[in-house]
Structure 1
Amino acid sequence: MDSAPFVGSEAVANGLVTRQQLRQHFRRIYRDIYIDPNSDLDAPTKARAAWLYSRGKAVVSGISAAAVHGSGWISADSDAELIWAEHRQKMGGLRIGFDELPAGEIETIDGLVVTTAARTAYDLGRRRPFGTAVARLDALCRATGVGVHDIARLAENHRGARGIVQLRAVLAVVDAGSESPQETRTRLALMDAGLPRPQTQIEVVGPDGRVFARIDIGWARWKVAVEYDGEQHWSDEKQRAWDIERQHLLEAMGWTVIRVSAMQLRTDPWGVAARVRDKLRAAGAKV
């Protein structure tokens, strides 16, 4: 993550910009932390801005740490998160915690002091709502390779902490194979309905011996696949054409494919689960 072109009172003192130019031509992120308006303000950049605001006294944590670790699906509109024991003043756009952090739960990435992937997962997994916590950990585990056992082992050092019961429940269903929050929600909806835990990213080998498809969610034993249709499946003509061909090839190999949209998942998750249950039963699953 490259340093963004942040400026502040130091730049004014050094004669690089005037105070008026700073206010008129730069975007204020935090007090005395400005950024060139032509620069992208993504979540990792916002995390760096928050850390610079702390003058290096804080540790980047929570979703900000997840963003620095490379986790996706984090909006720059979200408040940046820090653990900063010395700071007790509220500030817009910042969420500050006051936990004491052992040395083993902190690391430095590109000069930025952040919570480790395991500690970041520990913090995010204890937050409600449950589904959001699972989606955050799915993405973080996928980005960093941190394992459920690593997170559970760290949690053992914080017995009795707030949210620890939820964290254990989250860790029981985390799956780094999930490629988006919507895939996570689809998987959870199926499990909430009592269906067996599905696999993720199932590789399907064609007659030529090469992998031609990866199924988002499914059960290889019964050849039942559940595919979430994101926006790109409809807006990209080439993607849509391949989706149709891919489904034809899968069905020719005996797979049943159930497609799920965002609206179906939001308004009728039980209906989605019922359709999947019917297909599993038809394939011989005792559900």
Structure 2
Amino acid sequence: MQKPIELRPPEDPRNGPVLLRQQLLAAGYNDNAIARMKRGGVIRPLRGGAYVAAEVWERLDEVGRYGLRCRAVLGQAKAPVVLSHVSALPEYDAPTWGFDLVDVHVTRTDGIRGRRARGVQQHVGTLRPADLVRVNGVPAVTPARAALDTVMLGCSEASLVVMNDLTHRGLASEAELREQYVEMQTWPGMSAAEVLLRLVDPRIESVGESRTFWALYQQRLPRPVSQYEVKDSAGRVIARLDFAWPELGVWLEFDGREKYEKHRRPGESVADAVVREKNREDLVRRVTGWRCIRITWADLADPRRLAAIIHRVLFPAA
């Protein structure tokens, strides 16, 4: 087993704690008392026989609540299992975009064929000691194994989002992903992984950028340079561009809401951040003479239309 990973402080609400029925009974509560706490809004159910304090529940988003449900499945499991596939992602703070968060996915460590119960899908597959780790105190597969596991769930775009995120944050390397693929390449559903490993790019910083990169690939547009650095005449970096085609004199920025909220400077409003981004674009245009394409989440909903727009900018003579 790998060295334990701690990515969040103990008091983080995503750690729970999860309250299991048998623990509450052992502490002196009976089923009537548990029912009263539920009716009174003191606890909230995660799944049958598992609860969390209401104050913790209210502090969590959909992914955080799903993560606690995954922890509840671990606590109630009768067989030796670890979190895997999409269910390992919340512990790594990895994006779950594009994945169904209805079922909890675990993999058995005893090699016995798994089964599917209500809300839980048990998987069976070879688990090496190197594939296992305790993350934030719970057993799970490693980041690289989790990323390759997600490929078997059938959404290549979402798996690329995960791979880019994990490599960008240093939780998995490209070499580790390739090594994991060698171990799993004959497994059902793994045919897409080889393509994804050619596309993975640790420079890509967000879900929106990963989805943009995937759309460019799917629509057979030229592969851009990610996080391209623009320098002034003195060699100083004045901007980093989401994507650029230097030989064509074009760059592309993905304008998600996160860009203007997450990267605001101290005391800066969203409007201030928008103005600063506009000034940055003007500076890049003056220095390079390039043309800028800006896209949003709405553009990603229609990749063919988006590709046509980008193609006209890349190849105006055509």
Q: TM-score range by the shorter chain?
A: 0.7 to 0.9
More deviation, 64-73/15-24? 15-24
Match of 1:82 in 2: 106
> What number of residue pairs does the alignment pair up?
282
Alpha-carbon distance in 2 for matches of 1:21, 1:177: 51
User: What is the SS of the residue equivalent to 2:178?
Assistant: helix
After superposition, residues 167-186 of structure 1 pair within 5 angstroms as 167-186=193-212
Alpha-carbon distance in 2 for matches of 1:224, 1:155: 35
Match of 1:243 in 2: 277
CA apart distance, 1:258:
0.4
8 A Cα contact 1:66 1:140, kept in partner:
no
How large is the Cα RMSD of the aligned pairs?
2.9
8 A Cα contact 1:191 1:197, kept in partner:
yes
CA apart distance, 1:232:
4.5
CA apart distance, 1:131:
1.8
Alpha-carbon distance in 2 for matches of 1:76, 1:22: 30
After superposition, residues 64-213 of structure 1 pair within 5 angstroms as 64-73=87-96, 77-84=101-108, 85=112, 88-92=115-119, 94-206=120-232, 209-213=235-239
Match of 2:18 in 1: 6
Q: Say which of 48, 54, 61 aligns to 1:31.
A: 48
8 A Cα contact 1:6 1:33, kept in partner:
yes
CA apart distance, 1:35:
0.3
Q: 1:72 to 1:158 in 2, by over 3 A?
A: closer
CA apart distance, 1:47:
3.2
User: What is the SS of the residue equivalent to 2:201?
Assistant: coil
Alpha-carbon distance in 1 for matches of 2:102, 2:168: 21
Alpha-carbon distance in 2 for matches of 1:54, 1:144: 31
Alpha-carbon distance in 2 for matches of 1:71, 1:15: 38
Q: Say which of 272, 295, 299 aligns to 1:260.
A: 295
Listed as ranges, the gaps of 5+ residues in structure 1 are none
Alpha-carbon distance in 1 for matches of 2:244, 2:179: 30
CA apart distance, 1:272:
2.9
Q: 1:38 to 1:212 in 2, by over 3 A?
A: farther
Listed as ranges, the gaps of 5+ residues in structure 2 are 1-7, 262-269
TM-score (norm 1): 0.84
Residue-by-residue CA offset, 1:104-158 (whole Å, 9 max, x unaligned): 2111123211101221121112332322222222223223442233222222223
Percent of residue pairs bearing the same amino acid type: 23
Q: 1:143 to 1:45 in 2, by over 3 A?
A: farther
